[in-house]
Structure 1
Amino acid sequence: MLRIVGKQSLERQLDALASAGIPVERIYMDKKTGTTIDRDGLSRLLAFLLLALFAEMERTFTAERAAHARAVAEASGRQIGRPVAHPEDKIEYARLLKAQGDSLGITATSPPLTTAMSRSDADKHQRQPIPRANGGEG
């Protein structure tokens, strides 16, 4: 907020703000003293600040509600996020074929060796570590 006191020129201040690249619609001004709260510029500024505050609060509450819903779903054993595109047996089959030396093109698309997954999905699963039975990764 810019306050002009004494012999300062409002026009000169507005020209300086415009030359600094501040759009006119973002400049709040009024010509009353600072001792009264019945000012148009102050009312518009307060309305803007209240809207911004409520928007930020709603964003925070939305994020908290989503986190709580995910925690409840996880605690009840439900799947979180997108469903798995390929069953684990197909992924393991693709890994087995790759380990035997087949190319990803053969692994992904050639019958009878098909895994019914795209080449990019087969490649993605080849790069992921294989979970071990004892909880570690290999």
Structure 2
Amino acid sequence: MKVVAQGTFDILHPGHVHYLREGKSIGDELHVIIARASNVTHKAPPVLPDQQRRAMVASLEMVDKAHLGHTEDIFVPIQEIDPDVILLGHDQHHDDSEIETALAARDIDCTVRRASGTTPQFDGELYSTGDIIERICAERC
């Protein structure tokens, strides 16, 4: 079974690891699509270049293949990978039903699921890229 996870992955943190481990646990192959900076419009664009973020995700043991997203059509890599499951992060901005509708319109037969959330394991642990950046700025800038 092929599973696709996707995200920006600007600064890897424990929340990303939880999400990707969950993706790997439900399938045999975990493919991860890294959003291109030019496509990130729902939040501040990533600081790190596309290729660097892809290389970092690819280096994780649970990831079988890391792909850069398409510059114009986010569903192109989905069609190429042909997954059984698309696993969305528990807090990602995507609307599940809109994704299911777009998949059906493209004749892509897969299930859309939401990953579980997780909580920090120790005091001060951060699970958000935005929170990490804020802490760095507060303590170092």
Asked if these proteins are the same fold (TM beyond 0.5), I'd say: no
When normalised by structure 2's length, the TM-score is 0.24
Larger RCO (alpha carbons 8 Å, 6+ apart): 2
Higher helix share: 1
Higher strand share: 2
